Amino acid sequence: MRVAVILPCYNEEAAIGQTVADFRAALPDAAIYVYDNNSKDRTVQVARAAGAIVRSETMQGKGHVVRRMFADVDADIYVMADGDATYDAAAAPAMIERMVDEQLDMVVGARVSEVQEAYRRGHRFGNAMLTGILARIFGRTFSDILSGYRVFSRRFVKSFPLLSAGFEIETEISVHALELRMPVAEVVTRYGARPEGSASKLSTYRDGWRILRTILSLFRFERPVLFFGAIGGILALVGVLLSIPLVLTYLATGLVPRFPTAILATGLMLLAFLNLFTGLTLDTVVRGRREVRRLAYLGFPSPARTKNPAQVSRVA
């Protein structure tokens, strides 16, 4: 089985050498790819000196890099991690072993750290909040939706219509797996602090807002009945509240003295029904899109073991 380690990088001169060495020790038969995203330092030279296959993506943003990696790299199993030496490369064989044994399509490395410096201020709270929102909207979720440490099957990678541009890519990956009801799992992995000289590229508030906006957009795309139905329900409730005094006055006097309010209430009810029918119409479209994605996904075999156990044992 061909295993590829894919590492998106931006200005990771201080950490990429160690990252490549760690994954080389954990997966000696794997091909290790480093995709540079317009680094201003010596990331490319250090990665190449460490023995990685170095390629580049000029469109700035992690989502663009991951899209390029998924399109270009050909393998049976993909191990994706960041190039900052924070993820436990030694956990990769166990993650691959579980994927192959249980024929899964994704195994997420849920981060656990005893080092305070591993998480910047607000990251734990933000991750927990976004994970909770995702669970509320989609009914189920992972414990660490923002983890960048994941193992994918070939059929996941080659059937995933990736659209994100930045750090919201992990959220889109999680929702894609949940929506297609893929067999997935989580493995608890150690998470360490960055090496000295390496700095995080994640902005707590800006990227947190982008991730939240992505969740809401995916809610609109994947659950149109609930999304537009909720808007329609609010509009209908306001319309009913405005119309109650009018109805009572009409029943008592036979007159409608506040005609503009009556027009407003009628307009709100019309908008409410329009939102409801919009949600129902888009739900039909979403079901068709989901069927197309499912068929594309089923066009690839599951990550089952080969007939040669020795070949797998060298990987896992």
C-alpha to C-alpha distance for 6 and 281, rounded to whole angstroms: 40
Q: Would you say residue 116 has pLDDT above 70? A: no
Q: Would you say residue 307 has pLDDT above 90? A: no
pLDDT (0 to 100) of residue 236: 93
C-alpha to C-alpha distance for 130 and 138, rounded to whole angstroms: 12
Picking from 192, 4, 206, the residue whose alpha carbon sits closest to that of residue 84 is 192
pLDDT (0 to 100) of residue 245: 87
CA within 13 Å, CB half, 123: 17
- In the block, which residue shows the tokens 């000029």? 58
Picking from 22, 30, 27, 21, the residue whose alpha carbon sits closest to that of residue 50 is 21
| Count of CB atoms situated within 10 Å of the CB of 226 | 14
Q: Would you say residue 114 has pLDDT above 60? A: no
pLDDT (0 to 100) of residue 312: 41
Radius of gyration of the chain (CA): 25
* Token couple for 235: 């509009």
Picking from 48, 18, 45, 5, the residue whose alpha carbon sits closest to that of residue 196 is 18
Q: Would you say residue 293 has pLDDT above 90? A: no
User: What's the angle, vertex CA 115, arms to CA 126 and CA 118, rounded to 5?
Assistant: 45
pLDDT (0 to 100) of residue 102: 92
pLDDT band at 120 (very low <50, low <70, confident <90, very high): low
pLDDT (0 to 100) of residue 123: 62
Question: Model confidence over 70-108: pLDDT tens digits?
Answer: 999 999 999 999 988 889 999 999 999 999 999 999 999
For residues 194-210, give the mean pLDDT.
Answer: 65
Q: Which of 157-166, 182-191, 218-227 has the highest mean pLDDT?
A: 182-191
Picking from 243, 223, 237, 239, the residue whose alpha carbon sits closest to that of residue 286 is 223
Q: Would you say residue 176 has pLDDT above 90? A: no
Question: Model confidence over 24-73: pLDDT tens digits?
Answer: 999 999 999 999 999 998 999 999 999 999 999 999 988 899 999 999 99
* Token couple for 200: 């995080």
Question: Model confidence over 269-284: pLDDT tens digits?
Answer: 999 999 999 999 988 8
Residue of 127 and 69 predicted with greater confidence: 69
- Do 59 and 164 contact (CB within 8 A), yes or no? no
Amino acid present at 75: A
| Count of CB atoms situated within 10 Å of the CB of 244 | 10
pLDDT band at 198 (very low <50, low <70, confident <90, very high): low
pLDDT (0 to 100) of residue 147: 86
Picking from 169, 201, 178, the residue whose alpha carbon sits closest to that of residue 70 is 169
* Global pTM value: 0.76
pLDDT (0 to 100) of residue 1: 85
Give the least confident one: 113-117, 124-128, 184-188, 248-252.
113-117
Mean confidence (pLDDT) of the chain = 83
For residues 221-238, give the mean pLDDT.
Answer: 89
